[in-house]
Structure 1
Amino acid sequence: MVGAVIYALAINYFLIPNRIGEGGVTGLTAIGYYTLKISPALTNLVLNGILMLVGWRYLNRQTVYYSLWAVLWISIFLKIPVFMPYQTSQTLIAAVTGGVLMGISMGLIFRAGGTIAGSTILAKIVNRYLGIRNGSAMLFFDLSVAIPSAYVIGFQNMLLTVAELYVSAVVLNKFLDAVGAKRSVMVFSEHNQEIGQALSSQLGQGVTMLNATGFYRQRRQDVLYYICSQQNWTRVMPIIAAIDPEALVVTDQIRSVRGVNLSKL
């Protein structure tokens, strides 16, 4: 619902007042409003209802239900009267701001397990079966609507629409990476048993010990493998350094960790 509020604010307060389009179904709702004055809430509900039938075939039921919930609330919030819309001659500001808000709103809805239907339904399907990132797949489908919209909103506003879509895709990808990101740590040390015990007891997470063999000396040694959240990351290195300041530590940022529902990867 919070994502739906932000989404409606982006459309009603930044995009439509400055005659900036959008991609996918939202782009079609904007075109319908600009040309025939059809309510965006009505167009959003009808067209997304049709696309939800496609999602019913290819996505899990929970995603479909949450998407219906998001689409319903977006349509409701779009119907709320607009007070003090942001209109400016510097329309790039409106496009960038609208793109940031769109990316955040979709990130919130995606993290909750839903979509905003439209091109995000298609993006979820592509992500599930082809592994393409949600924001990138959605940008492709959105551009297929945004570029032809130049015939309605003009070439300059079409370019602003493309800029807005790009910003929203980047923000969406960054948001999903940041919220779902984890840190992986590999530790090579003579004191891995003590380090593992300290990490497990102080941070309350499991630690894995791997059997490794150094190629040059053919020497067997345990390697500690640990996955932690971004919040715990600042506590990991001091724990390791306190036990073995000479330890070799290899770290990496990983996008997602799942041990139950692998489809969400």
Structure 2
Amino acid sequence: MSFISSKNLTHIKNGSLIILGAFVYAIAINDFLIPHQIGEGGVTGLTAVGYYALQIPPFITNLVLNGLLLLVGFRLLDKRTVWYSLWAVLWISVFLKLPRLLTYHTSQSIIPAIAGGVLMGIAMGIIFQGEGTTAGSTILAKIMNRYFGMMTGTAMLMFDLIVAIPSGLIIGFQNMLLTVAELYVAAAVLNGFLSRFGAKKSVTIITSRTTEVTAELSARLKQGITLVNAKGYYHQESHPMIYLICTKRQLAEVVPLISSIDPEALVVVEEVHSVKGEALNKIL
């Protein structure tokens, strides 16, 4: 008998993912960006600029600015997301106080920019998997998405560049270009992370052996499968189409299974984000 409810297990899982993501996020800043005077976007960029120009500890800037943005978000966004985001901000601030964990030297500035971008993308992906955000430009982007219809990714990039480009006055033109490169790498890694762990595949199957294929797929996948009534225009014949959602790993089983039953079957595979209607804004 379990003494922990499924809801509490979800909170523990999400909270743990956010802590892990916050740790990786802080490593990217402390060990790769700040030591090489590479900026960032949004509030994180302001923490770097504050450190370079005024020697303000990054954890203080991060906590204060993100705290103010979360107060705005609390009135305008989903409360669950805001609470998880607050948890992320607190842990990022804690980890930013840690000394550098990695000690290395390189004369190639592009290396820490790329490494920092990769870690940033992974960190944000982990935090997003825990249903949180890194606050800052993410909060502003979600507000723009909810009230003005702007895609979240586009809004994030816009707010990040608003900080990153002017930071060139403090960190120099070369480091500003490295910052833009780092932002691009982080965005690409984040998209890849979410695609790998969040996206699923939709599979449409047209076969003359619908009953056999459906029975085998149901037995193998143990999940819902939909039959859609369809009619071919040329022969005017009615055939049900098989439609299902599966993971990339399951797809590797599905295609050979279909081919073994009906080598002539037509299989169409597309990438989708599977969400409930109330969560559609999360994929924009």
Map of 2:37 onto structure 1: 19
The two structures have a TM-score, normalised by structure 2, of: 0.89
Map of 2:86 onto structure 1: 68
Alpha carbons 1:14, 1:85 under 8 Å: kept: no
Map of 2:12 onto structure 1: none
CA distance in structure 1 between the aligned counterparts of 2:261 and 2:196, rounded to whole angstroms = 30
Alpha carbons 1:17, 1:86 under 8 Å: kept: no
Map of 2:274 onto structure 1: 257
Alpha carbons 1:210, 1:222 under 8 Å: kept: yes
CA distance in structure 1 between the aligned counterparts of 2:279 and 2:181, rounded to whole angstroms = 33
Map of 1:132 onto structure 2: 151
The two structures have a TM-score, normalised by structure 1, of: 0.95
Deviation at 1:210, TM superposition (A): 0.5
Give the partner amino acid of 1:48: N
CA distance in structure 1 between the aligned counterparts of 2:236 and 2:119, rounded to whole angstroms = 55
Deviation at 1:259, TM superposition (A): 3.5
Map of 2:121 onto structure 1: 103
- Is the deviation greater in 25-34 or in 116-125? 116-125
Deviation at 1:86, TM superposition (A): 3.8
Instruction: Tell me the alpha carbon deviations over residues 163-201 of structure 1, each in whole angstroms, 9 at most, x when there is no partner.
Output: 101111111111111111111111111111111111111
Alpha carbons 1:194, 1:243 under 8 Å: kept: yes
Alpha carbons 2:27, 2:101 under 8 Å: kept: no
What is the percent sequence identity of the aligned residues? 58
Q: How many residues are treated as equivalent by the alignment?
A: 263
Secondary structure, counterpart of 2:93 in structure 1: helix
Alpha carbons 1:99, 1:168 under 8 Å: kept: yes
CA distance in structure 1 between the aligned counterparts of 2:227 and 2:98, rounded to whole angstroms = 56
Provide the alpha-carbon RMSD of the alignment.
1.5
Alpha carbons 1:67, 1:114 under 8 Å: kept: yes
CA distance in structure 1 between the aligned counterparts of 2:209 and 2:101, rounded to whole angstroms = 63
Q: 1:33 aligns with which of 33, 37, 51?
A: 51
Unaligned runs of 5+ in 2: 1-18
Q: 2:140 aligns with which of 122, 140, 143?
A: 122
Alpha carbons 1:212, 1:221 under 8 Å: kept: yes
Alpha carbons 1:25, 1:47 under 8 Å: kept: yes
- Is the deviation greater in 224-233 or in 124-133? 124-133
Q: 1:158 aligns with which of 176, 183, 186?
A: 176
Matches within 5 A, 1:1-265: 1-128=19-146, 130=149, 132-134=151-153, 136-254=154-272, 256-259=273-276, 261-263=278-280, 264-265=282-283
CA distance in structure 1 between the aligned counterparts of 2:43 and 2:22, rounded to whole angstroms = 15
